[in-house]
């Protein structure tokens, strides 16, 4: 897995503080940013967090480049609807040698790993085989319709990939660009940093949290699973590791 924060709102804490200032004072647009030093901005943002006033944090956005994650993770992260996603297409990209994410539990069990690798190898072979078979069939049709060789070849491959991709498993890796505002990110962290979240998306959430804390620590001072700043909402399903989780996220957010 590779995760990189590639862009964000300039001076995100100042922008959020300006939005908060507008909400709570008779500030004028022309002077809205006056006096908003980094220290004052930090105070405004932390005040918002203590009040639970989240809407001003929507004005700061963060964009991540992510690769080496599974299509299984893709299905989970796109459930977070207040976000923008651009994902590598299996329809247009021929994954001649697809890569796969191996779950740690499989990686640590020799017999399971052997069967997993066999399955991935077979899926790759079948994907390549079906792609070629469909491409050949489509190309004949396109040539018969009067297409030139180059155009027929390109169109046939594209059409073949549309259907051959159905063979690829959830373990197949993908790449994406993801943009979320700070409010959506905090919701994402609450859901996906929890020990009950699936291991891969939890690893992603932890790394994203670490990186945003480097550029806007006050916006994410309470970020992490719910037990970091309050009680665990999982009831009987709680992992029972509140102390350990608070220590873990204290360390993640202090790595700047």
Helix (H) or strand (E) holding 12, with range, is helix 12-24
State the distance between the two ends of the chain, measured CA to CA, in whole angstroms.
20
Do 162 and 127 form a contact (C-beta atoms < 8 A)? no
In DSSP terms, which residues pair with 154 in a beta bridge? Answer: none
Helix (H) or strand (E) holding 256, with range, is none
Give Cα separations from 127 to 78, 120, 132, 181, 233 (angstroms).
25, 10, 9, 38, 43
Using DSSP, state whether 102 is helix, strand or coil.
coil
In DSSP terms, which residues pair with 11 in a beta bridge? Answer: none
Which is catalytic among the residues 190, 192, 196, 222? 192
Note the helical H segments in the chain: 12-24, 38-51, 71-77, 104-107, 110-144, 149-164, 182-192, 199-215, 242-254
- What are the φ/ψ torsions at residue 145 (nearest 5 degrees)? -85, -5
Based on the residue annotation, tell me whether 222 is a catalytic residue of this protein: no
Q: Which residues are tagged catalytic? A: 192
């Amino acid at each position: 897995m590779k995760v990189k924060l590639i862009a964000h709102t300039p001076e995100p804490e100042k922008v959020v503080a300006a939005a908060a200032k507008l909400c709570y004072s008779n500030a004028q647009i022309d002077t809205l940013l006056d006096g908003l030093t980094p220290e004052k901005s930090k105070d405004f943002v932390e005040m918002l967090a203590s009040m639970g006033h989240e809407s001003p944090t929507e004005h700061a956005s963060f964009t991540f480049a992510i690769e080496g994650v599974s299509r299984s993770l893709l299905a989970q992260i796109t459930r977070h609807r207040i976000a923008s996603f651009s994902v590598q297409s299996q329809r247009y990209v021929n994954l001649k040698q697809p890569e796969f994410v191996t779950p740690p539990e499989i990686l640590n069990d020799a017999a399971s790993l052997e069967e997993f690798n066999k399955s991935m190898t077979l899926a790759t072979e079948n994907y390549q085989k079906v792609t070629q078979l469909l491409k050949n069939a489509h190309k004949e049709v396109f040539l018969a319709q009067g297409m030139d060789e180059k155009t027929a070849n390109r169109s046939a491959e594209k059409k073949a990939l549309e259907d051959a991709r159905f063979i690829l498993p959830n373990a197949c890796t993908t790449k994406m660009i993801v943009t979320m505002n700070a409010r959506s990110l905090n919701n994402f962290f609450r859901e996906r940093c929890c020990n009950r979240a699936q291991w891969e998306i939890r690893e992603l959430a932890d790394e994203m949290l670490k990186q945003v804390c480097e550029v806007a620590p006050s916006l994410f001072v309470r970020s992490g699973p719910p037990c970091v700043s309050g009680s665990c909402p999982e009831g009987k399903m709680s992992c029972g590791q509140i102390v350990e989780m608070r220590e873990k996220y204290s360390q993640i957010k202090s790595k700047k």
